[in-house]
Amino acid sequence: MRILLAAVLFVFITALVVCMILSLRSKKSIGRYVACLISGVIPPIVGNLILMLSTNHTISMLGFYIYFLGMDATVYSLLRFSYAYCEIKPPKWLKRIPDILIISDVFLYALNPILHVSFSAKKIMVDAHAYYKLVPYAGQTYHRVIAYGIFLAVVIVFLTKAIKTPKIYSEKYWVILFSSVVAGALETYYIFSKITLDISMLAFGIFGILVYYFALHYRPMKLLDKMLSGIASDMPDALYFFDTSGKCIWMNEPGRLLIGTLPNDYDGVRDNLTFLFGNIDFESGGWSKKQTLGTGDEAQYTNLLMRTLTDDDGKATGTYLSIRDVTDEQNEMKREMYNSTHDSLTGFYTKEYLYEAIEKRLRSDTDTDYMIGYMEISNFKVINDVFGKRFGELTIKKAAEFIMEGVSSKCLYGRLSEDAFGILIDKEDFNSKPVDEKISGFTVSDKDLEHHVLIHYGIYDITEGEEIDVPLFFDSARLATAKIADSYQTLIVYYDDKIRNEIIHEQLISNQLHEAIETNQIRPFLQPIVDGKGILVGAEALVRWVHPDDGLKPPGTFIPIFERNGLIALVDKHMWKCACDILSNWKERGIEQFISINISPKDFYFMDVVSELKKIVEESGIDPVKLRVEITESVMMTDAIDIVKIIGDLREYGFIVEMDDFGSGYSSLNMLKDIPVDVLKIDMQFLRDSERNLKAGYIIKNIIRMSEDLGIDTLTEGVETAAQFERLFDMGCKLYQGYYFSKPLPVDEFEKQWFD
Ligand code: C2E
Ligand code: CA
Ligand code: CA
């Protein structure tokens, strides 16, 4: 019996050593705790083995020491292991207690050979064999208390963890708890039963091996199984599993619903699938296909995927088929596609999509003669501002309807921008006369509001064999339209040589601008501004281009071009600088008069007007009050810039702000309450009307009076006759400007005439 037990213990020791080495090599962080624990478990077993085989007192004493100190190591490393395994972090002070207890116990054992406080050994005879039995003293009781105490702590740790953890995960805690309790119980039995052979050592060995397995190799297969089948069941895709013979062995709920069979009725699965999807290759895995069931709005889009399942050795264990319903995605994609290619308001193609479609058509259909049409709603922003956004949208919709009604089946059309449409016109079908008539009668009405909307139509005739460049075609049609932008008579315009030459001309003078500014070909002329007594109070700086070839160019010949391409900012900055230079020169000569400069509405888009003006004034060292700033009325109506803030900033800095061309647009006096200007420049057009039209004269009178009330000075420009001057004077106008006093003059002439 003794020999057999010894042999078994020896086998355990060997197995534990192997486990310990493997644990050390493990990549898992728990590995070293396992190794420590096993290295703690081995000594008690070795100690017992020695005790079992020894017949000598000294060797037996050695066995006891190994046994007891090993027990200390075992419980201590078990506690550390339990912390790591159960993933708990006790406070530091709590961790210290077992350290102190174990050290004190080791200390007692160290003193035992001299003081005999722990134990000694007594020879007894078992089955005619000499055997040394333990004689415990007080120190040994202390050892047991410590060992049991720590063991109890371990049991508590595992028990709480196992209870707190969800059932499917707690298996690994229960196993270790159970086996450690069994080992502990057997040990207790050995201690108290006084039997000579410590069979609990067998439990120790088993415990060590269990720990090694559960901590390092255990995979909760039941859990994995549950999780995987849970995932498969919860998948929105229909799933079918087939064994190697091709028989269906499982399907999830969506799979069942798709083919409409009873739960667990796997026999008809293949036939049902074949019925729905036609021939399906159940035999080979590794294929996928898209398939549509039904047609039209009812259509159901699916993705089928067949895969082979293999075991670890790569042997096929079956196949599975997944069927995903992608109808929503497909519809969403179609919707997105539609939205990205169609304008939401009109349902028309977007610009990009139209360009693409036209290009395709022009390349594929070379037999038809096509033209490109660019249709623009004039003053659309004004319509929006004055009649409201709703009316603006209605206008766009009506224009879209108008296009749809008028075009032939071969036409393509789309919305190019907020206020413009593009059309590919079949030349044969297009007759400009009726179109012109229809456009000129285009009105939009909403309830009791009716408005005649001005539409311009630019056409680019594509010549045969011309290189296809859709954006360029539209650019040309648009440029042609721009040429008639203000006309109420001409509504349809063809891009022709004249327009082409004009465009070339525009490019030419744009290229010349830089040099023209540097060499002062671009320079201000001054037109006097006088008060009621005809005394000079200031001048307006009006740009002139003294061109080496073309002679004196008035602003009307180049300002609109530079406003279109943004070069206006260069012209205006230059003009402002010139005005400041003149003012600085006047300052030196003691001349008190001011100069008004013009700001183009487009300047606000191309530069920070306020800081630019400040910079120029600072550099020239003049008083900002001498530089008056003219902002046209039309700027006040655009939402894109915060004109109230800009005017506020300008006035705060000391500029006097004038509203230019008042009355030319659709502004109302009402607006003046919100926009804080110092001077109102009444447009000369207004004045001219007033001669013919008494009513207009009455309006001017009122404007002047109301401005007075608001503390705003009025300046009338375009005064040409003494009669006009007198009438305006009677109406209470403060300042005057016009040919009656003087035309705009070159600076030196102006100075000669007014200062000498
Ligand atoms: P505006 O600011 O309304 O300037 C007044 C225009 O009326 C000037 O035309 C002036 O010569 C003209 N004018 C003055 N008195 C009379 C008159 O009694 N009868 C008639 N029929 N016309 C008169 P101009 O110099 O041809 O300038 C035209 C427009 O060009 C200006 O209108 C202004 O909007 C723009 N402009 C002129 N200089 C500049 C500039 O430096 N920058 C910017 N952005 N625009 C400028
Ligand atoms: Ca002006
Ligand atoms: Ca003006």
Q: How confident is the model at residue 538 (pLDDT cuts 50, 70, 90)?
A: very high
Residue whose CA is closest, atom 34 of ligand 1? 598
Where a domain ends, among 193, 218, 243?
218
CA 652, CA 648: separation in Å to the nearest integer?
6
Q: How confident is the model at residue 369 (pLDDT cuts 50, 70, 90)?
A: very high
Domain co-membership, 720 together with 589: yes
In a domain, residue 335? The reply is no
Across the chain, what does the average pLDDT equal? 89
In a domain, residue 500? The reply is no
- The rounded Å distance from CA 632 to ligand 1 centre is 12
Domain, as residue range, for 478: 342-495
pLDDT of residue 285: 77
Ligand with the closest atom to the CA of 527: 1
Q: How confident is the model at residue 523 (pLDDT cuts 50, 70, 90)?
A: very high
Statement: residue 382 has pLDDT above 80: yes
Q: Which residues pair with 374 in a beta bridge?
A: 422, 458
Residue whose CA is closest, atom 42 of ligand 1? 598
Q: Is the CB of 268 under 6 A from ligand 1?
A: no
| Amino acid code (one letter) for 610 | V
pTM for this model (two decimals): 0.52
Ligand with the closest atom to the CA of 718: 1
Q: Is the CB of 542 under 6 A from ligand 1?
A: yes
Average pLDDT over residues 471-491: 89
| Amino acid code (one letter) for 635 | V
| Amino acid code (one letter) for 502 | E
Q: Is the CB of 738 under 6 A from ligand 1?
A: yes
CATH number (domain holding residue 325): 3.30.450.20
Q: Is the CB of 633 under 6 A from ligand 1?
A: no
In a domain, residue 601? The reply is yes
Q: Which residues pair with 421 in a beta bridge?
A: 375, 415
Ligand with the closest atom to the CA of 567: 1
Are 516 and 522 a contacting pair, CB within 8 Å? yes
Residue whose CA is closest, atom 12 of ligand 1? 718
Domain co-membership, 303 together with 404: no
Pairing of strands 656-662, 627-632: parallel
Residue 246 tokens, joined: 């091709």
Q: Is the CB of 543 under 6 A from ligand 1?
A: yes
CA-wise closest residue to 436 among 490, 483, 482: 490
Domain co-membership, 440 together with 485: yes
Q: Which of 598, 602, 606, 613 to mutate to test the pocket of ligand 1 (most atoms within 8 A of CB)?
A: 598
pLDDT of residue 314: 76
Domain co-membership, 325 together with 365: no
Best mean pLDDT range from 428-437, 543-552, 724-733: 543-552
In which element (H, E) is residue 709 found? helix 694-710
CATH number (domain holding residue 150): 1.20.1070.10
Lowest mean pLDDT among 37-51, 195-209, 602-616: 195-209
Long-range contacts of 13-17 (CB under 8 A, 24+ apart): 13/42, 13/45, 13/46, 13/49, 13/205, 15/205, 15/209, 16/41, 16/42, 16/45, 16/205, 16/208, 16/209, 17/42
Where a domain ends, among 432, 462, 495?
495
Q: What is the largest CA-CA distance in the chain?
A: 154
- Residue corresponding to tokens 């420049």: 681
CA 128, CA 684: separation in Å to the nearest integer?
141
Q: How many CA atoms lie within 13 A of 404 on its CB side?
A: 11
Q: How confident is the model at residue 250 (pLDDT cuts 50, 70, 90)?
A: confident
pLDDT of residue 231: 77
Q: How many CA atoms lie within 13 A of 735 on its CB side?
A: 25
pLDDT of residue 417: 95
Pairing of strands 316-325, 370-377: unpaired
- The rounded Å distance from CA 546 to ligand 2 centre is 20
Domain co-membership, 419 together with 457: yes
CA 261, CA 279: separation in Å to the nearest integer?
19
Ligand with the closest atom to the CA of 682: 3
CA 483, CA 528: separation in Å to the nearest integer?
33
Query: What percent of the chain has a predicted confidence (pLDDT) above 70?
Result: 95
In a domain, residue 367? The reply is yes
Domain co-membership, 64 together with 190: yes
User: CB under 8 Å to 219, separation ≥6 — which residues?
Assistant: none
Domain co-membership, 260 together with 377: no
647-662 confidence digits (pLDDT tens): 999 999 999 999 998 8
In which element (H, E) is residue 627 found? strand 627-632
User: CB under 8 Å to 449, separation ≥6 — which residues?
Assistant: 387, 391
CA 370, CA 466: separation in Å to the nearest integer?
12
282-325 confidence digits (pLDDT tens): 877 788 999 888 888 888 899 999 998 877 677 777 888 999 99
In a domain, residue 224? The reply is no
Q: Is the CB of 492 under 6 A from ligand 1?
A: no
In a domain, residue 336? The reply is no
CATH number (domain holding residue 417): 3.30.70.270
- The rounded Å distance from CA 285 to ligand 1 centre is 82
Are 63 and 47 a contacting pair, CB within 8 Å? yes
Are 65 and 46 a contacting pair, CB within 8 Å? no
Q: Is the CB of 718 under 6 A from ligand 1?
A: yes
Q: Is the CB of 98 under 6 A from ligand 1?
A: no
Statement: residue 3 has pLDDT above 70: yes
Distances 422 to 289, 369, 430 between C-alpha atoms, Å: 41, 17, 15
- The rounded Å distance from CA 683 to ligand 3 centre is 6
pLDDT of residue 695: 67
Domain co-membership, 101 together with 158: yes
CA-wise closest residue to 633 among 608, 603, 601, 610: 601
Q: Which residues pair with 717 in a beta bridge?
A: 737
Domain co-membership, 311 together with 349: no
Distances 30 to 82, 156, 162 between C-alpha atoms, Å: 10, 20, 18
Domain co-membership, 710 together with 564: yes
141-152 confidence digits (pLDDT tens): 999 999 999 999
669-692 confidence digits (pLDDT tens): 667 777 889 999 987 666 566 555
Statement: residue 1 has pLDDT above 90: no
Average pLDDT over residues 365-381: 93
Domain co-membership, 348 together with 319: no
Residue whose CA is closest, atom 33 of ligand 1? 598
Instruction: Name the DSSP letter for residue 285.
Output: -
386-412 confidence digits (pLDDT tens): 888 999 999 999 999 999 988 888 899
Q: Is the CB of 664 under 6 A from ligand 1?
A: no
Average pLDDT over residues 547-555: 95
Between these two residues, 484 and 749, which has the higher pLDDT value? 749
Average pLDDT over residues 177-194: 85
pLDDT of residue 191: 80
pLDDT of residue 18: 95
Domain co-membership, 288 together with 379: no
Q: Is the CB of 667 under 6 A from ligand 1?
A: no
pLDDT of residue 13: 95
- Report residue 721: phi and psi, to 5°: -130, 160
Q: How many CB atoms lie within 10 A of CB 558?
A: 25
In a domain, residue 419? The reply is yes
- Residue corresponding to tokens 């003669």: 369
Statement: residue 197 has pLDDT above 80: no
Q: Is 339 exposed, middle or buried (0-12, 13-18, 19+ CB in 10 A)?
A: exposed
CA 526, CA 742: separation in Å to the nearest integer?
9
DSSP per residue over 504-550, as a string? Answer: HHHHHHHHHHHHHHHTT-EEEEEEEEEETTS-EEEEEEEEEEEETTT
DSSP per residue over 477-499, as a string? Answer: HHHHHHHTTT-SS--EEE--HHH
CA 493, CA 482: separation in Å to the nearest integer?
10
Query: What percent of the chain has a predicted confidence (pLDDT) above 90?
Result: 57
Pairing of strands 594-599, 536-547: parallel
Where a domain ends, among 165, 195, 218?
218
Query: What is the tally of structural domains in the chain?
Result: 4
Q: How many CB atoms lie within 10 A of CB 518?
A: 10
The percent helix, strand, coil of the chain (3-state, each to 5) is: 55, 20, 25
Q: Is the CB of 527 under 6 A from ligand 1?
A: yes
Q: Which of 517, 522, 542 to mutate to test the pocket of ligand 1 (most atoms within 8 A of CB)?
A: 542
pLDDT of residue 692: 59
Average pLDDT over residues 557-565: 91
- CA 516 from centre of chain: 46
Residue whose CA is closest, atom 27 of ligand 1? 555
- 560 SS3 class: helix
In a domain, residue 139? The reply is yes
Q: How confident is the model at residue 666 (pLDDT cuts 50, 70, 90)?
A: low
